[in-house]
Amino acid sequence: MPAAKTTTSTFCDLNLPAPLLATLTKVGYEIPTPIQVQAIPHLLKGLDLLGHAPTGTGKTAAFALPLLARIDLKRPQVQVMTLTPTRELAIQVAKAFQ
């Protein structure tokens, strides 16, 4: 995905559902990072994405928020599966999803 100008200043601008926005506010997320600004709208459309950004720039939230937004609570089937290369990273990602 090519680098894009980031004019988004809030998570509200990314069209995330209200419950997710409320949770983001509650946990202290205020301004999306560049990787989040670029990835979230793309992933909300259900498109594939390969993103690259330094450690600590919000990559987990960049892919987790759109996945959480697309979950249909009325469907009891597995809707999201996240694979990681290590157990430690799996634990970290699971905590971020929670």
Tokens of 97: 């999803």
Q: Determine the pLDDT at residue 19.
A: 94
Amino acid at 91: I
Q: Determine the pLDDT at residue 8.
A: 59
Amino acid at 76: P
Q: How confident is the model at residue 88 (pLDDT cuts 50, 70, 90)?
A: very high
Residue 96's SS3 state is: helix
Residue 87's SS3 state is: helix
Residues 70-86 have pLDDT tens digits of 999 999 999 999 999 99
Residues 11-59 have pLDDT tens digits of 999 999 999 999 999 999 989 999 999 999 999 999 999 999 999 999 9
